[in-house]
Amino acid sequence: MTDKPLPDTPLPEDERVRLLLMAAAEPEGGVAPPCAAFTARARRSLVRRRLAAVTATLAAGAAAAAGVLLAGGVSGDDDPPPASEQCLSDTVRNIEDRQAQGYRPVYGTLHEDWIPMDDGVTKSSGFRFDIEGALADGQGVPSSGSVQVWHPVSEAQLPEPGRYVLLLDRADRPDRDGTPLFHLAPERALPLDTDDRVELRCADGSTGSVSQDRLRAAMNGE
């Protein structure tokens, strides 16, 4: 490469790379945003997915009912999970990936808070999560009590208030007042209902649920 046009004054590397990328980011030709027709296409796509999900749920319900009838009303399991074994094993593997990075799966209640947080390097905000228990051992994350968790990068990744299984990792630095702070793995927030059933997102885009005990057992290889 020759003669890259950059300012004469030496710049930090971050800034030099940013300028290079800004130059490369400009698409060739004009930019015409998708119009209402694209929105209509997105809507049709969403409707099709919802219909497919309803159909799948009805089929799963019918299969489960048939199973109960065939077993004479006794399934052999106190709370048979509608989520497939494949979906469960995929979920466990995803959780284990995060555990390998230091995260611990805990369950509890997420509150819609906007707590100002400052660890001396980053000023931002977080939410409160009341931990009721843990699904696996782990260092640095308590198995009970209230903790403060940094908001995820994107607000869209912030789960709505409610009960969840979350993967938390203790941040390197506490808040200025000494309060321990935690990071969240936003893509692994699993809703937890009042019957302690965990909602799983399966690879095919569907959802299914398992009991919290079943998930814990699967994580222990049982």
Binding site for other proteins (CB under 8 A): 1-6, 10, 12-14, 16-18, 20-29, 31, 33-36, 38-43, 45-46, 49, 97-98, 101, 121-124, 152-157, 160, 183, 185-187
Distance between CA atoms of residues 92 and 19, nearest Å: 42
Which of residues 27 and 73 has its CB atom nearest to other proteins in the complex?
A: 27
Nearest approach, Cβ of 207 to other proteins (angstroms)?
14
What is the smallest separation between the CB atom of 216 and other proteins, expressed in angstroms? 22
Comparison of 164 and 214: residue with beta carbon closer to other proteins: 164
Give yes or no for a contact between 185 and 164, defined as CB atoms under 8 angstroms apart: no
Nearer to other proteins, 50 or 77 (CB): 50
Shortest CB 24 distance to other proteins, Å:
4
Distance, in Å, from the CA atom of 24 to the CA atom of 20, rounded to the nearest integer, reads 6
CB neighbour class for 222 (10 Å; exposed up to 12, middle 13-18, buried from 19)? exposed
CB of 221 to other proteins, least distance (A): 23
Instruction: Decide whether 122 or 144 has the Cβ nearer to other proteins.
Output: 122
Closer by beta carbon to other proteins, 86 or else 157:
157
Please name the residues in contact with 169: beta carbons below 8 A apart, sequence gap of 6 or more. 101, 102, 103, 104, 140, 141, 182, 183, 185
**Nearer to other proteins (CB atom), residue 80 or residue 186:** 186
Q: Let me know: does 136 contact 129? Beta carbons within 8 Å.
A: no
Contact (CB, 8 A) for 183 and 131:
no
Closest contact distance (angstroms) between CB of 194 and other proteins is 21
Distance CA 207, CA 209 (A): 7
In angstroms, give the least distance from the CB of 87 to other proteins. 18
* Separation CA 147–CA 158 (nearest Å): 16
C-alpha of 5 from chain center: 42
Whole-number CA gyration radius for the chain:
23
